[in-house]
Structure 1
Amino acid sequence: MLEIPLLAAFLAFCRIGGCFLTMPGLASARVPMQVRLFVAVAATLALLPHMWDSIAPHASAEPGVLLVLIASELAIGALIGLVARFYVLALQFIGSAMAMMTGFGMAGGGTAIEDNDPQPPMAAIISFGALMLLFILDFHHEIIRALVISYRLAPIESLFDPQSALTDITDTLSDAFYVMIRLGSPFIAYAILVNLAIGFINKLTPQIPVYFISLPFVIAGGLILLYFAIGSLLGLFAQGFFPIMTGL
């Protein structure tokens, strides 16, 4: 009978597709929906033989139980993708803050990589570089590994645990905040020192509009700081990503 294999494949697709629906990169607004669907189906067919023993016994459940399992699998998959997405969103946030602190916040909205909302050009460059670096380091393989391990840590019969999910999200946000503060600390110090110096100069020469004159120098200093810090920034970002996915 084809009913059991089809239901088992659909249960696997719910968790894998839910993850691919929210994970960074693949869930970007720049990726067509058909591409996401085909990638999720291909990953499901590739992983199903390895997880058959964990999924197949639940494919013969009653229709009411199957609906509960489908909703639970979608929530678990979305949680795995959201953990990675929140980390990337934290980088987008600190990138926007860095653009504002270096004078690029008034440069107008640029094209965002992940979403349709406008984003400062500096933040878009940092987000694109970080996302490209993650794919170069095979972070999508880490996502697939987390999906396979999830069937051992959160089997289908255990259903979705909202308390555990909230704990995972809270820990991810806490770790991401700590990493992003480290990444943005040079720019925070730069903004404090530059604005303090400009304020003193403005007090000494109140007849000169120092804030308007100083903006090109503030932007130039921010670009120089970004030039020397971008390598370490992206490296620390990538180093912080994999422990978060491993701890999931």
Structure 2
Amino acid sequence: MLETPLLAAFLAFCRIGGCFLFMPGLSSVRVPMQVRLFVAVAATLAMLAHLWDLITPHVSSEPGPLFLLIASELAIGALIGLIARLYVLSLQFIGTSMAMFAGFGMAAGGTAIEEAEPQPPLTALISLSALMLLFVLDFHHEIIRALVVSYQLAPIESLFDPQSALTDITDTLSDAFYVMIRLGSPFLAYAILVNLGIGFINKLTPQIPIYFISLPFVIAGGLILLYFAIPSLLGLFAEGFFPIFEGR
């Protein structure tokens, strides 16, 4: 009968497709919907042979249990993709803060790579560079490996655990915040020192609009700091991703 193989393939597609729905890079608005669908189907067919014995025994043709399994698989897959996406979103957050610290806060919003909303050009540059670095380091292979391992950590028959999912999301946000504070701390220190110095100079010469005159120099200093800091910034970002993702 074809009913059992089709249902098993569909359940596998629910978990894999739910992950790809939030996966950084693939879930970008720049990627057509058809491409995302075909990639999810291809990954499902490639992984189904390895997951067959873990999925087939729990397939049910009854509507009630089947819908429950579909909802559970979608939620588990979305959680795996959301953990990776939260880490990238935290980089976009600190990138926006770094742009503000470096004097780019008043710059017109540029074209975002991942999101539909405009971002400062500096944030778009950092986000694109970090995302390309993750793909170079085969982070998509790590996500696929996590999907395979998830059938042992979260078997299909155990269903989705909201409490465990909330704990994973909270731990991811906490660890990502710690990493991003390390990445943005040089720009934070630069902004404090520069604005403090400009404030003192402005008090000494109130007749001159020091703030507007100093803005090009603040931006130039921020770009110089970015030039020297971006190799370490991207390296720390990549190093922090895999421990955080594997720890969940």
Shorter-chain TM band: over 0.9
Amino acid at match of 1:63: P
Alpha-carbon distance between aligned partners in 1 of 2:63 and 2:57, rounded to the nearest angstrom: 14
Q: Which residue of 1 aligns with 2:115?
A: 115
Does the residue aligned with 1:117 lie in a helix, a strand or coil? Answer: coil
Q: Distance in 2 between matches of 1:60 and 1:190?
A: 60
Q: Indicate whether 1:78 and 2:71 are aligned.
A: no
Residues 151-230 of structure 1: pairs in structure 2 closer than 5 A: 151-230=151-230
1:38 corresponds to which residue?
Answer: 38
With structure 1 as the length reference, what TM-score do the two structures score?
0.99
User: Within 2, Cα distance between the matches of 1:84 and 1:142?
Assistant: 10
The 1-side partners of 2:97 and 2:61 are apart by 51
C-alpha deviations, 1:153-191, integer Å up to 9, x for none? 000011000000000000000000000000000000000
Shift of residue 61 of structure 1? Answer: 4.5
* Count of aligned positions: 248
State the Cα RMSD in Å: 0.5
What TM-score results when the alignment is normalised by the length of structure 2?
A: 0.99
How many angstroms apart in 2 are the aligned matches of 1:46 and 1:58?
Answer: 20
Could you tell me which runs of 5 or more consecutive residues in structure 2 were left unpaired when the two chains were aligned. none
Cross-structure match for 2:232: 232
1:86 CA drift (Å): 0.2
- The separation in 2 between residues aligned to 1:215 and 1:107, in whole angstroms, is 12
User: What amino acid does structure 2 have at the position aligned with 1:222?
Assistant: G
The one-letter code sitting in structure 2 at the alignment partner of 1:36 is R
**Structure 2 CA distance, aligned partners of 1:91 and 1:84?**
11
Provide the identity percentage.
83
**Which amino acid is 1:105 matched to?**
G
Q: How does 1:29-108 map to 2 (within 5 A)?
A: 29-108=29-108
- Report the Cα distance in structure 2 between the residues aligned to 1:74 and 1:105, rounded to whole angstroms: 38
What is the CA-CA distance between 1:60 and the residue it aligns to?
3.1
Instruction: Name stretches of at least 5 consecutive residues in structure 1 with no aligned partner.
Output: none
Mapped pair 1:11 → 2:24: no
State the distance in 2 between where 1:157 and 1:143 align. 22
Q: Deviations over 1:61-108 (max 9, x none)?
A: 422100000000000000000000000000000000000011111111
Partner SS state of residue 105, structure 2: helix
